[in-house]
Amino acid sequence: MQKILPPATEDLAFVIGPYQRPIARVQPGETFQVSTLDAFGNRIDSPDLDLTKIIQLPYVNPCTGPIFVEGASPGDTLAVTVGEISITRDYAVSCLIPEFGGLCGTVYTRTLNEPLPQRILLHPIDKSGMIHDPQLDIIPIPAEPFYGTIGTSPAIEAISTLSPGFHGGNMDAADICPGNTVYLPVNVEGALLFVGDGHAAQGDAEVCGVAAEVPTTGTFTVNLIKGNAISTPRVESEDFLMSIGSARPMEDAARIAFYDLISWLAADYGFDRIAAYQLCSQVAVVRVANMVDVLYSVVAKFPKKYLLRGQQVTGN
């Protein structure tokens, strides 16, 4: 099995775009491993560090990539199935970053309040789960790793790995986890896949701006759906079809997600578009993936048990 490692520090991907030379090439149907650094480049190993020396925008959230998928052409869809994800360190990192988060003044939400003080926590991870804080008497948090950032190159833009969008990117959707398939648009030859930002745990919305950040080694299988373009990322699990919208304000992210989900149900699963719209009002599930990034991300989910009888329940 091919093992794809993060490149040297000077070659790490801090943007998702078409201008970096591929670090690896894979074939449709191939299963391979990708190793990633954590969102801070594995540089936080103590609660006593000065975050202003660690977090130097825009050089955060490094991804491993780009990975060239042979045969992928604009107008295709890349299907990425996530296999096992191994956390390659015995602790996760989280922190409070001054002027970043969902409940404080930021560069996008200006207030005259003083920035929050910085705070770093190292969360031990063992077989029982993740310890949020040894001084806090709560049960361990399950370690359920997923990828906060996964995306394919836009046609001409190079988009920061801090931002989500129609290409994927930093969506922070916990549904990008083992067993699920992520569908991403192909905008350039080879698709150019980027992966990073592993999380051991994250609550919906990632409200303080940082999850439980970890380095990982993940197993992936890629396939191509030729000549079938999608407009925004999709995810499929055993139980749900999901569409992800990223925008500000948050209601526009939800509109993108539901518009795509309803279009998917109509195009591939035999629903009348208006019937799907009304049905989603009764059975859909919504996850706020993040309310902190450059754009917010919302996941609209349709339970497969409500697909029309006789329709397939897997595939794009």
- pLDDT exceeds 60 at position 315: no
Mean pLDDT of 103-125: 93
Where do the structural domains in the chain lie, given as residue ranges? 2-225, 234-306
1-5, 278-282, 308-312: lowest mean pLDDT where?
Answer: 308-312
Distance CA 190, CA 260 (A): 24
Name every residue whose Cβ is closer than 8 Å to that of residue 39 and which is 6 or more positions away in sequence.
Answer: 60, 61, 62, 148, 196, 197, 210, 213
Report pLDDT digits (tens) over 210-222: 999 999 999 999 9
Question: Residue 91 phi/psi, 5° resolution?
Answer: -155, 155
Please state, rounded to an integer, the average pLDDT across all residues of the chain.
Answer: 96
> What is the C-alpha separation between 293 and 290, in angstroms, rounded?
7
**How large is the average pLDDT for residues 248-273?**
97
Fold of 234-306: Endonuclease I-creI (3.10.28)
Fold type of domain 2-225: Jelly Rolls (2.60.120)
CA 166 to chain centroid: 12
Mean local confidence (pLDDT), 259-269: 97
